[in-house]
Structure 1
Amino acid sequence: MSVPGSGRWDDLVVRVASGAGVAVVGLICAWLGGLFFLALIVGVVAVIVWELTRMLDPKAPALVIAGFAGVAILAAELLPPGFALPLLLAPAFLGFGQLSHRRATFAIFTTMILLAGFGLLIQRSDFGFTWLLWLVLVVATTDIAGYFAGRFIGGPKFWPRVSPKKTWSGTAAGWIGAGIVGALFAVIADAGWQLIGISVAISMASQLGDIAESAVKRRVGVKDSSSLLPGHGGLFDRFDGMLGAAVFLLLVEQLVDFPPGAM
């Protein structure tokens, strides 16, 4: 006999197991840093570009474009920043010549993916594992708090036509969770209390990344970017929030002292 309402949690075990595996690999590579973290970012960027290309134009040479994106992010990390910038834009131009339609969408998202990957590499090298961990926890807490609040509390939908499962209660819960993470790191890392506001803003950016990817999937008529991760879909589905957060953090670090008030 089934428990009423249990269907809401049918995917939870699979999601947790799959997400935990990805998290363990990612955190180990982030902690080790250096070539390990670089290899992780190159692989993630290449796979996400592959998924994006297949979604937008199944006839396009997705592996070629993804391989070029991986090489571009690798070269961008090894070269001085001034020479790296054109490389971060080059895969978008390659896509213009290879895709037969939805080229603008491809160019915008591919540029954001490359910038996000580059931003994560900068975050690890310039600020260390602690502040990369902060970023990961803000994004993860936003996702987890939103997932459970949306199911326990429910209520009005955020944007039902694009993302029918997202609610305003889950969205707000993500902001609150991110603020708590910011407060904890402000104490642990001896940073300023402005970190709470920055954390909430990063949470919002991650949600926008999630919504943007959902809009693309809705437009092309697919449920997931791929089937690589059981319970999550593809890497794009798993890292869409991180992409938005990482790109926004690049801007934040140009506008405010980061970490704020840290000794």
Structure 2
Amino acid sequence: MNQRIITTVFALLFFIPFLLIGSWPLEILLAVLAIIGMYELIKIKSIQPYSLGALLSYLGVAMIVFSHRLFPMVSDHWSLYDGVLGIVLLLFVYLLFSKQDYDVEDVSVSLMGMLYVGTGFHAFTLLRERNIHLLFLILFVIWATDSGAYLIGRKIGKKKLAPAISPNKTVEGSLGGVAVAMLVAALYLTLVNTGLPFWTMLALAAVVSVAGQLGDLVESAIKRHYGVKDSGSLLPGHGGILDRFDSLIFVMVLISVINVV
């Protein structure tokens, strides 16, 4: 537990300055994190991490993170959709010549990872540009949910939430996480003007809290399917980038889908 706290403190001290600066420094950092996350997913699936298929996946996820800058710079006639299709075509061509080292399921995992991880970090960059106060609200809600669910689940948790996926999570912990997140969100919205209605933002905070827990379970389901405990070992006490950002990625993809950014 101490190692987990120490890693969290150092990670925040490193990450917060980039978040406050924004623009290219933050976007480059997020692209690096997205590529590492894609690398972890590739390894979970047992794809060779330096094969051409893997390298195309890294290119694809970086392209998605930078898409709001890249495609207007390249041409008015090219879009992110065209770029992703181009990567998919190259993955299928690689599939034909890979001598069964890279199969159809590998293509599917590569595409899923590109879209999911890339969109999550891309939405983060857009929200930072457009409303940093809303971004901080989302971050505080996710962190509060995680901490609240852990602490309350340990104290009073009895009924398993999803025993086949994540045996340690409980219904009491989940509800407690939402309750703590709502308190944190209400306090934040009282002190900070996001430029949006209080009750609308409080409702969004509740959605974010639940969605963050779903993101955690999604990553747990992927890891359990492939028989791995952690996505990586980059962050002592936390695992890999996907382990640490699982809730945030799911939430940011949802934010993108409901067109908040």
TM-score by length of 1: 0.83
- Name the SS for the 1:193 alignment partner: helix
In the alignment, structure 1 residue 109 sits paired with structure 2 residue 98: no
The answer to whether the Cα contact below 8 Å between 2:61 and 2:115 also exists between their aligned partners in 1 is no
Which residue identity is paired with 1:69? G
- 1:107-155 deviation digits (Å, cap 9, x = unpaired): 323311111111001101111x222211111111111111111111121
Q: 1:147-166, aligned counterparts within 5 Å?
A: 147-166=150-169
Which residue identity is paired with 2:79? F
| Aligned with residue 218 of structure 1, among 198, 215, 224 | 224
- Name the SS for the 1:158 alignment partner: strand
Percent sequence identity over matched residues? 26
In 1: Cα distance, 2:61 partner to 2:83 partner:
10
In the alignment, structure 1 residue 144 sits paired with structure 2 residue 147: yes
| Aligned with residue 237 of structure 1, among 222, 239, 243 | 243
Q: What is the total number of aligned residue pairs between the two structures?
A: 243
- 1:28-78 deviation digits (Å, cap 9, x = unpaired): 111011111111111111000000011012335366245313541354131
- Name the SS for the 2:198 alignment partner: coil
In 2: Cα distance, 1:19 partner to 1:189 partner:
24
Which residue identity is paired with 1:132? L
In the alignment, structure 1 residue 135 sits paired with structure 2 residue 163: no
TM-score by length of 2: 0.83
Q: CA RMSD in A?
A: 2.4
The residue that corresponds to 2:98 in the other structure is none
Tell me the CA shift for residue 84 of structure 1.
3.4
Tell me the CA shift for residue 181 of structure 1.
2.6
The worse-fitting range, judged by mean Cα deviation, of 226-235 and 186-195 is 186-195
Change (3 A) 1:109 1:174: farther
- Name the SS for the 1:166 alignment partner: strand
Q: 1:47-196, aligned counterparts within 5 Å?
A: 47-59=36-48, 61=50, 64-65=55-56, 67-69=58-60, 71-73=62-64, 75-78=66-69, 79-80=71-72, 83-87=79-83, 97=94, 99-100=102-103, 101-127=105-131, 129-190=132-193, 191-196=197-202
Tell me the CA shift for residue 103 of structure 1.
3.9
